[in-house]
Each structure stands twice: as structure tokens, then as C-alpha cells.
Amino acid sequence: MPTLNRKKSYVISSWSTVVHNGAGNEKFVTDKMVQFVRQSNMPGISAHIEDISAGLFGAKRKFLIVRQSNLPDYKIYIGVRDFGRHLDVSYFVAIEPSGFKRYMSKKMAGNPYVLSQNVDMFSQQDLYASAFIIKDYLKQTLMELYNDLKLDPTKLETKGRGFLDAW
């Protein structure tokens, strides 16, 4: 699996939670999410697992990455990892333009992401729909885990951060 440098990503929406005493359930959550994404039949959506690092020599973590073929600059990252005896679950929607696009955007507009953010109404609709559905699948998966672990489901944090969560 390749190691990718995420320093050139711009996170536009995020959500995270911790499942108390949920360590050891990473595979359950990840497998369930891959299954949900594949069975959803969302057009142009693919999912795979990659090792991600924060820098060239940084530590690696596994993430489920969801891509949409008509929006190649946008990716959804789902990270699930043991954190002590707990399970740390994170969801990020990021903009990651190619090096050339990032360079041209910075030269033309002073912002390396502005060309990637300039998408038509249909593409915005696709992005919002896929991001909502995937986050909803993740919450459903965690609710199933909460039930299996006999945890109080009202303790599941559901509020996200970012412009996709504004409405």
C-alpha cells in the first residue's frame, strides 16, 4: 500500500467520535463501511484502504478512502483505530488538487484550492449526497457496534464540523 502525504489536503468537513471500550472493532467497522459503500450503488463511487502518513517520514495509519470519479479532487477519509481500550473513529472530506492544479490556482487566485472549489451545481449536489450517505452509513455502523457492546446510543456524537454540516 502506498504512503501518501496529506500536507497538501484541505479538510472542508470533519466528524469524529470515540467508542468507549470499543478497542478491537476496527475490522468490523471498516469491513461494514466497505460493504455499505459497495452495495449503495452510488454512481462513480469507489472505496479502498490505504496507509496514510502526515509527512514523508511520519507515522502511518490506515484509512478507508472513498472517491467519486466525477470529483477527483475530493476524497472522503474514514479512520478507525484502537486508542487504548477505546475505538477512535474519524471522518474527513478533503480537497486534494493535483500539483499542477494547486500551483495554477495559487498563481491565479492566491489560494491553492480555489480552482478545485469551483464546481458546478450538479457536482456540488453529488458531493453533498455522497458525503451525507457515507457519514450516515458510518453512524449506522457505529450504532450497531454500540448495540453489540451494550453502550448507550445517545452518547454517540453526531455533530460534524465544516461547511457540509451547516445545513
Task: Provide the pLDDT confidence category of residue 162 given band limits of 50, 70 and 90.
Answer: low
Give me the pLDDT at residue 157, please.
Answer: 74
pLDDT tens per residue, range 130-157 = 999 999 999 999 999 999 999 988 888 7
Rounded mean pLDDT of 58-71?
91
What is the chain's mean pLDDT, rounded?
A: 86
pLDDT tens per residue, range 102-122 = 778 777 887 778 767 878 899
Domains observed in the chain: 3-152 (3.30.310)
Rounded mean pLDDT of 26-41?
95
Task: Provide the pLDDT confidence category of residue 66 given band limits of 50, 70 and 90.
Answer: very high
Return the closest-CA partner of residue 93 out of 71, 112, 110: 71
Q: Looking at the predicted structure, is the pLDDT value of residue 1 above 70? A: no
Q: Quote the CA–CA distance of 163 and 148 in Å, as a whole number.
A: 33
Rounded mean pLDDT of 73-80?
94
Q: Is 104 exposed, middle or buried (0-12, 13-18, 19+ CB in 10 A)?
A: middle
User: Cell numbers 489560494 correspond to what residue?
Assistant: 111
Task: Provide the pLDDT confidence category of residue 161 given band limits of 50, 70 and 90.
Answer: low
User: Cell numbers 455499505 correspond to what residue?
Assistant: 36
Rounded mean pLDDT of 74-101?
92
**Going by C-beta distance under 8 Å and a sequence separation of 6 or more, which residues neighbour residue 3?**
51, 52, 53, 60
